[in-house]
């Protein structure tokens, strides 16, 4: 089915461990985004990508790494997880055309113990 | 960078029309106004988008005055399934979304 898929849906990890959240879209959208959602903060942009091999920082990039070797995949890696990174993470994609809205996945709920 | 202001929460009875207003005083020429809906445990879902005047689709209407400094999302005859958080975004998508902040949205509670 066409769409945007995030995995895993839920993840529990320990402080200091590396964890990678996956995002895959089937539309061949140029733009992809990673947001985190915390109570009282709404959604905050972590990183975004305008195309394969082009990534840039958003509002809260510290502690995260992204890559985009293929248009359809945009993994987010926490190199050394901290408790403050406990959150719900959403991936989104968008066409390159001006005015194109965001299409979101259903999120990954990450708990760092 | 357009900052948006919308009510934190609203209550409405089933069958009523609901209007949620968003203020965006410093909207830029290239900015669109986009509304998203989010249910618990789901990602936000696109509802409607406009640039000026009025836009209507099968689920909502969006009213934008001539000065574009505010916008109103109108949901006709709401049902319990419309209980959700609604976000107003102002920006120049998609490239301009690097500068867009979602904010905390408006939590709509529909009452039977």
| Total Cβ atoms within 10 A of residue A9 | 12
Q: What pLDDT shows up at residue A108?
A: 97
Other C-beta atoms closer than 10 Å to the C-beta of A37 total: 19
Sheet strands side by side (includes B84-91): B9-13, B106-111, B84-91, B32-38, B45-50
Predicted confidence at residue A99, as pLDDT, reads 80
- Amino acid B50: pLDDT: 94
CA distance A28 to chain B (A): 14
B107 touches chain A (CB under 8 A): no
Residue B76 is predicted with a pLDDT of 94
pLDDT digits (tens, 9 = 90+) for A51-93: 999 999 999 999 999 999 999 999 999 999 999 999 999 999 9
A43 → chain B, closest CA residue: B102
Element spanning A90, H or E: strand A87-94
Residue of A nearest to B44 (CA): A104
Rounded CA gap, A89 and A106, in Å? 9
pLDDT in tens, B59-91: 999 999 999 999 999 999 999 999 999 999 998
Q: Which of B93, B95, B103 sits opposite A101 (nearest CB)?
A: B93
Q: Is A42–B34 a contact, with Cβ atoms under 8 angstroms apart?
A: no
Average pLDDT value for chain A: 94
Q: What is the pLDDT of residues A12-31, one digit of tens each?
A: 999 999 999 999 999 999 99
B45 and A104 in contact by Cβ < 8 A?
yes
| Alpha-carbon distance B67 to nearest alpha carbon in chain A (angstroms) | 19
- Whether A41 has its CB under 8 Å from any CB of chain B: the answer is yes
The number of C-alpha atoms within 13 Å of A99 and in the hemisphere containing its C-beta is: 8
Taking 70 as the pLDDT cut, the residues of chain B under it are 1-2
- The helix (H) or strand (E) run that includes residue B73 is strand B70-75
Q: Which among B30, B51, B103 has the least Cβ separation from residue A42?
A: B103
The pLDDT score that the predictor gives to residue B64 is 97
């Amino acid at each position: 089915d066409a769409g945007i898929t995030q995995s895993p849906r839920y993840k529990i990890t320990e402080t200091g461990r590396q964890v990678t959240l996956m995002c895959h879209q089937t539309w061949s959208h140029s733009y992809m985004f990673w947001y985190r959602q915390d109570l009282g903060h709404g959604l905050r942009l972590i990183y975004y990508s305008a195309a394969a091999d082009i990534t840039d920082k958003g509002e809260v990039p510290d502690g995260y790494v992204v890559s985009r070797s293929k248009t359809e995949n945009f993994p987010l890696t926490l190199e050394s997880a901290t408790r403050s990174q406990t959150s719900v993470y959403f991936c989104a994609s968008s066409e390159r055309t001006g005015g194109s809205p965001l299409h979101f996945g259903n999120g990954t709920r990450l708990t760092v113990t | 960078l357009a900052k948006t202001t919308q009510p934190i929460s609203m209550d409405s009875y089933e069958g009523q029309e609901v209007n949620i207003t968003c203020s965006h005083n410093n909207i830029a020429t290239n900015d669109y106004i986009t509304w998203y809906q989010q249910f618990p445990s789901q990602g936000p879902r696109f509802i409607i988008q406009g640039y000026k005047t009025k836009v209507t689709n099968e689920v909502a209407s969006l009213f934008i005055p001539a000065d574009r400094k505010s916008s109103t999302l109108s949901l006709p005859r709401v049902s319990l399934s419309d209980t959700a958080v609604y976000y107003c975004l102002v920006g120049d998508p998609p490239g301009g979304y690097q500068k867009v902040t979602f904010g905390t949205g408006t939590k709509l509670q529909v009452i039977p």
